[in-house]
Amino acid sequence: MASWEIHDDMNFYITANKFFIEPNGKSEVLIIDRVSREASVQVKTNQLPHGVPIRKVCGVLGAIKLISGFHLVVVTHRIFVGIVNSQAIWRLAGFDIIPYVPSLTHLSETQKVQNGVYLAMIRQVLDTPYYYFSYTYDVTHTLQRLHSMPPDFMQTGLYERADSRFVWNGFMLKQFHRPEVRQYCLPIILGFVSINDAMVNGHAFQWIIMTRRSVHRAGTRLFCRGIDQTGNVANYVETEQIIDVRGDKVSFVQTRGSIPLFWRQTP
């Protein structure tokens, strides 16, 4: 396993004071303090707790702060989509949101209601069935961008080298953005991925469609239009078609977005 590949099979332990994330087959463990929020990777000795349930997780999406405090977001289920450039692509199929603070007693009744509303909103967003990721392949970049990168760039972590325009959990991963934790930071894209084996005139090939939606100025049609002060257009989408014939690849990229002017439309 390369030093930048992300852990994909982990045991998750929860105690009153800490989270423990243990990659299977590895001699290390990620420990997150639920009070200070400090995260550290340590050599596995006797830190793992005994007598607590073991949960299986297959990715860490990051942490987000609500009224009650920070919450850890982890991937619990995934669906295999296919292979791109000899690397597996997956779709997010299940997640869990665990509060750092185990109790809501420090909140007023109004705050408890508001916290529940915000938590439901996050769950609704993550329940969207179009989040994709890979533990070994950078799904945020086109083949051309990947091909033009220098060798040392390709040895950095997937989150570090990802195109931030298309990383939908980038904000949640910020507090884990350190070299020693990079193998736990799983960036995800929102869009569409289809991987198919095809044949034309007796010639077999792989046909791949990858669509990446930008995190900037994303919104519903008619309500979100035009450009902002930094040049981001509403609902910008990058769609890449890849044809792979026995290892020879060709990529065609098409982009779309709102008209790059300052304008609005009344629905």
Q: What would the pLDDT profile of 90-132 be if each residue is shown by its tens digit? A: 999 999 999 999 999 999 999 999 999 999 999 999 999 999 9
Residues 3-14: what's their mean pLDDT? 93
Q: Is residue 209 part of a domain?
A: no
Q: pLDDT per residue over 125-145, tens digit each?
A: 999 999 999 999 999 999 999
Alpha helices by DSSP H, listed for the chain, are 109-126, 143-148, 158-161, 170-173
Q: What is the domain count for the chain?
A: 1
Q: What is the pLDDT of residue 1?
A: 61
Q: Is residue 203 part of a domain?
A: no
Q: Is residue 33 part of a domain?
A: yes
CA atoms within 13 A on the CB side of 26: 21
Q: What is the CA radius of gyration of the chain?
A: 20
Write down the mean pLDDT value for the chain. 94
Q: What is the pLDDT of residue 151?
A: 85
Decide if pLDDT at 265 tops 90.
no
Residues 35-54: what's their mean pLDDT? 94
Q: Is residue 248 part of a domain?
A: no
Q: Is residue 259 part of a domain?
A: no
Q: Is residue 120 part of a domain?
A: yes
Q: Which of 77, 205, 93, 208 is nearest to 139 (CA)?
A: 208
Q: Is residue 78 part of a domain?
A: yes
Q: Are 138 and 146 in contact (CB under 8 A)?
A: yes
Q: Are 89 and 195 in contact (CB under 8 A)?
A: yes
Q: Which residue segment(s) compose the domain that 71 sits in?
A: 10-189
Q: Is residue 257 part of a domain?
A: no
Percent of the chain at pLDDT > 70 equals 99
| Cα dihedral 265, 215, 78, 118 in deg (nearest 10) | -70
Give the span between the Cα atoms of 217 and 263, in whole angstroms: 13
Q: Are 188 and 132 in contact (CB under 8 A)?
A: yes
Decide if pLDDT at 3 tops 70.
yes
- 81 or 153: which leads in pLDDT: 81
Q: Are 210 and 242 in contact (CB under 8 A)?
A: yes
